[in-house]
A and B are shown apart, each in its own frame.
Chain A
Amino acid sequence: MIQTFAFYLFAILVIASGSLTILARNPVHSVLWLIVSFFNAAGLMVLVGAEFIAMLLVIVYVGAVAVLFLFVVMMLNIDFAELRAGFMKNFPFGIAIALVLLAELILGIGAYRAGALKLGVPDGTAAPMAGQSNIENIGALLYSEYLFLFETAGLILLVAMIGAIVLTHRERATAHRGHQNISKQVRRRPEDATINASPEVGKGVSL
């Protein structure tokens, strides 16, 4: 009973906050509704027993990706009138994307109802191992059956990361005014930096 109640609660909240994400006028509100939607989707994952995926969804999407979204959107000063002016121009394009997504959804559900797809995996290997938590199951599959795909995904992410750093990195001259050499600062001692002089009156000190 409580499972059914929880399912409908999470499902309604996912749909409602998902709709509000696109309906909200303020982009910051949109991001916050998106976060609510992620969080409830994680609740649905817990209900089907995929607690590992649920936690990763919260950690990665809610905890990191959405924070960066919010970070960027908060700093943008968005002109709403300008946004609405472009609405009619982009309307056919938006409809086209929506139709493609709808077609894919129908196709996916139809294909699923026709029977599960076997992607060249020998029978039985993908079946959950009884008596193990799903972290152990995922780990065992990722590091044996899907090792190549897993490492390829890692490599792609690494390349993307290096690419982003290379694109934004600017070489600065070491004599740059704001440049800071931490070890040089730590090595500096009072006796190197100060002198104790008692000059005669009217003579001054030479620096």
Chain B
Amino acid sequence: MTEFFQSLGLTYEAAWAFATISGILLIALPLMLAVAMIIYVDRKIWASMALRRGPNVVGPFGLLQSFADGLKVFLQETIIPSAANKGLFLIAPIVTFTVALLAWAVIPFGPEAVLANINVGLLYVLAISSLGVYGVVVAGWASNSKYPFFSAMRAAAQMISYEVSIGFILICVVLWAGTFNMNGIIEAQRGHGLGIVNGFVFNILLFPMWVMFLISSLAETARAPFDLTEAESELVAGYQTEYSSMSFALFWLGEYANVLLMCALNAILFFGGWLPPLNVDWLPGYYVPGWIWLFGKIFFFFFIFSWVKATVPRYRYDQLMRLGWKIFLPLSLFFVVLVSGYLMLTRYAA
């Protein structure tokens, strides 16, 4: 995009600045729209699984429901509890929302369509997603109220636990791809299954990693069945209890942006990202633009997330910890050894 702005007669620095800013807007604005629509989709899927109609009043088929909700919270009064730590109370939702947008900088939407094609792309995503917990913890503490505080405690422990096994799962993928660069990882999946299908998920050693990654990403984004941070039967609304109006909406938007990010990571790391599912160049799907494939895969994973939310009962907290530390951690560690051993024997055999 820098070349395009340079062709308009700008210097390189100015062209670079314009290209970066327009790239950020091109990602952030559609993402906001996507978050609004995906909340509607989530409610519709959930409703249809519960044999309800879901939102169907505002706009055709209720499509504008999220925008109506957004307008409603925008017009509400922001209530700050008198005992709250005012500064941190207001910063917390902003942190959650900003961090949820930050990680999208390295997500590739096509071979060239990536804002920051850095060679530590995956580490960057891991680093940013590990920041996500601060919004929740700070919100819980700054509210100066019982239930948000319990929720913050839970969130801190839960996210650290699952980040460990997510790290090991990512190491397996990186070992196989040989790079931390997101586009490099996607290219490494081309024709991975017998030269026909794209995606690490068709690899016998990496398929269990994908199953664990999907479950861990549910836990990492605190979605059902791991939504103990906002378990309404015990904690009212968790860390959001004291929040109202826009600050509440920022949590909501940030949470869904994080869910979409995790869906995108599932698609990129295990299902070939913007690659078509089949690596056969005479099929019509081979020439469909990459971003359409990526969006389709993200939507597929979001459907799985909603499906799980609608059907699986909530975990108990000790069960959550047991799954993370006693099952996922040893298993993913074992697979790191297995995958590196296999690669040493085959690819790097001297």
Chain A interface (Cβ within 8 Å of chain B)?
1-2, 28-29, 32, 35, 51-52, 55-56, 58-59, 62-64, 67-68, 70-71, 74-75, 133, 135, 180, 182
Contact = CB atoms under 8 A, between A and B. Distances in A.
A40 B174 CA distance: 27
25 contacts: A1-B13, A28-B141, A32-B88, A51-B119, A55-B120, A55-B123, A55-B127, A56-B123, A58-B130, A58-B131, A59-B127, A63-B126, A63-B130, A63-B131, A63-B163, A64-B130, A64-B160, A67-B137, A67-B156, A70-B156, A71-B153, A71-B156, A74-B152, A135-B180, A182-B322
Given A59-B127, A71-B153, A52 B120 contact: yes
Nearest to B132: A63
Contact of A67 (B128, B133, B149): B133
Contacts of A71: 137, 153, 156-157
Contacts of A74: 137, 141, 149, 152-153
Contacts of B156: 67, 70-71
A64 B163 contact: yes
Main secondary structure of the interface of B (DSSP, over half): helix
Contacts of A52: 120, 123
Contacts of B246: none
Given A62-B131, A63-B131, A71-B156, 9 more contacts: A52-B123, A58-B127, A62-B130, A64-B160, A64-B163, A71-B157, A74-B153, A133-B120, A135-B180
Interface string B52-66: 000000000000000
Contacts of A28: 141
B120 A135 contact: yes
B303 interface: no
Contacts of B318: 180
Which 7 pairs of residues, A with B, have the shortest CB-CB distance?
Answer: A63-B130, A58-B127, A55-B123, A133-B119, A59-B127, A51-B120, A71-B156
B170 to A, nearest CB: 11
B138 interface: yes
Interface string B113-139: 000001110011011101101100110
A55 B130 contact: no
Contacts of A63: 126-127, 130-131, 133, 163
Nearest to B133: A67
A63 B164 CA distance: 11
Contacts of A1: 13
